[in-house]
Amino acid sequence: MTWADFAGNAAANTIGSLVGVVVGVPIALWVERRRLRREEIADVERRHRADELEQERLKQRYTLLGTLLVDTIDKNLAAVERAEIDVGYDRPLYRSDLDLETWDVLKPDLLPVIQNPAVVVRIAVLFAQFREFADMLSRRAQWTSGYHGFASIRDEIVKLGPQLRHHGRALVGELRTSLL
């Protein structure tokens, strides 16, 4: 091989390499950018889907919590009505069957969901009245019918029952439309 052949081959290889670099590097960079862009789009879509799934999970959770609250209020209203009837007929009643704990348990999770503070206050007032009603029933259960306060506690129970049921039914209607 002669120096001329070597120089010609070297020049050809150099020109080929330069053309390969000048053309190949931009093409390689373009291909890499497209690959990174597709990965970014896929990541955004995965995050978006994960956010949608989380939102759906939260919606289902809040619907379940709202259902539990509404069901508890409904059961308490039925217990109030039964107790009110029994007390009205001077039947002995030794337990109220009122669920006074569910609101306390659900409250931390439901407060961020219930947007209207007035509704939160009304729920709290309703459960405070349920407690008052249960306390009245408990006091009445400790007294006999000849006791001085027996008739007055009966009258208070019979008076509070319809108020509780009216307030509770109105609140249940609101909660069904806003939470469920």
Instruction: Read off the pLDDT of residues 105-123 as tens digits, 9 standing for 90 and up.
Output: 999 998 888 888 899 999 9
- The pLDDT assigned to 178 comes to 82
Q: Is residue 130 classed exposed, middle or buried when 0-12, 13-18 and 19+ CB atoms within 10 A define those classes?
A: buried
Ranges under pLDDT 50 in the chain = none
How many Å apart are CA 28 and CA 50, to the nearest integer?
Answer: 33
How many Å apart are CA 37 and CA 20, to the nearest integer?
Answer: 25
- Where are the chain's structural domains? 3-179
- The pLDDT assigned to 154 comes to 81
| Rounded (10°) CA dihedral 113, 118, 119, 121 | 100
- The pLDDT assigned to 133 comes to 92
- The pLDDT assigned to 17 comes to 81
- The pLDDT assigned to 6 comes to 80
**Is the C-alpha dihedral spanning 153, 154, 157, 163 positive or negative?**
negative
pTM reported for the whole predicted model: 0.72
147: left (phi over 0), alpha (psi -120 to 50) or beta: beta
Q: Is residue 143 classed exposed, middle or buried when 0-12, 13-18 and 19+ CB atoms within 10 A define those classes?
A: middle
